[in-house]
Amino acid sequence: MANPEPPVLRHEVDHEVDPAKLTYTFGGAEAIATLVAGSILDTSTLDCFAGRVRSPEDKVTEVCDPRFLNPQTGPFYIEGAEPGDTLAVHFARIEPRRAFGISTTVPFFGALTATGFTAMLHGPLPEMTWFYGIDREQRLVRYEARDSDYRVELPLDPMHGTVGVAPALGEVRSSLAPGDWGGNMDTPEMRAGVTCYLGVNVPGALFSFGDGHARQGEGETCGVAVEAAMDSVVVVDLVKGSPTPWPRLESDDELMTAGSARPLEDAFRIAHAQMVHWVVELTGLSLMDAYQLVTQTVRTPVANVVDTNYTVVAKLAKAYLPGTTAMRGAHRRLRALGDDYLARRR
């Protein structure tokens, strides 16, 4: 007998809605729909500007309300999710909704300018906007300089900058900030084919996501990637009775842990400490033996150095952990469900 098809929620997002009606926090918002474990969510997300930057002449400070940046699709109530569980979110598809993406510089925001955290006497860098053509068939993003005729083609690498659940203790956190609940981690590792694991802090988890990027360099140096509205398909499930204190990710070939903090070295420490603990869980190694193995095998891309907290990711190849299975096989199971859904949808 064939396995039953998983439940599917096709959630329509109004891309012309008043930005004031969207959600800009993790926690503090009512769920817009309910998902059961093992179900598929087929939906879309707005770009971080809520669609208000529409030409190279538009400036964020002139066309956007600073209260309404980084809108989220959600939150979704996950039936049966309780504190102490882990929410597994597999990204089966992340595709730009339109044939363009947008990047900008924003006054006193970014890694190479004075900011509210690093006060300096000089003024802000110039506020500028770049439009990128997106070729979905050739899988390219086309960069064009503003001050010269320089052009170059870059690989299309869609991802979601924000993926998270409601924080613990009733906190409400801005969708511009990352933390142990996930949020605005801005890691390019959050691409299609990857499963994100988030610790559940409140009944129903209250999962949201958004902030699509057609591509982003590690660090998101100027503070803004190639921002784009996305059409996304995710598969959600629960790993019951298995807490996850900081976000974890899994691809076909790698395990990853994310830490978010300031200063940057503390984000590094969180990510690496969590990887050591995960290796202990998977292998039964002692803490010190796992510490040694992680030291010699891990890679550490910097996700962002611009947000309220910085995010660092630790990556460990599964080849170094033979015979182990993470999160009770959730990644493989959810990937199969997502692939099957996409094949049937064609």
Task: Kindly report the pTM of this predicted structure.
Answer: 0.97
CB atoms within 10 A of CB 36: 14
Q: What is the pLDDT of residue 3?
A: 66
Which residue's structure tokens are 């309300």? Answer: 65
pLDDT at 2 > cutoff 90: no
Stretch 332-346: mean pLDDT, rounded?
Answer: 94
Q: Write out pLDDT tens, residues 5-58.
A: 899 999 999 999 999 999 999 999 999 999 999 999 999 999 999 999 999 999
Q: Write out pLDDT tens, residues 57-116.
A: 999 999 999 999 999 999 999 999 999 999 999 999 999 999 999 999 999 999 999 998
Residue type, 129: T
Domain 8-345 fold: Jelly Rolls (2.60.120)
**Is residue 305 within 8 Å of residue 221, measured between CB atoms?**
yes
Q: Rounded CA gap, 114 and 110, in Å?
A: 8
Count, residues in the chain = 346
Identify which of 328, 264, 266, 269 has the alpha carbon closest to the alpha carbon of residue 295. 269
Q: Write out pLDDT tens, residues 195-230.
A: 999 999 999 999 999 999 999 999 999 999 999 999
Q: How confident is the model at residue 4 (pLDDT cuts 50, 70, 90)?
A: confident
For all residues of the chain together, what is the average pLDDT?
Answer: 97
What are the domain boundaries of the chain? 8-345
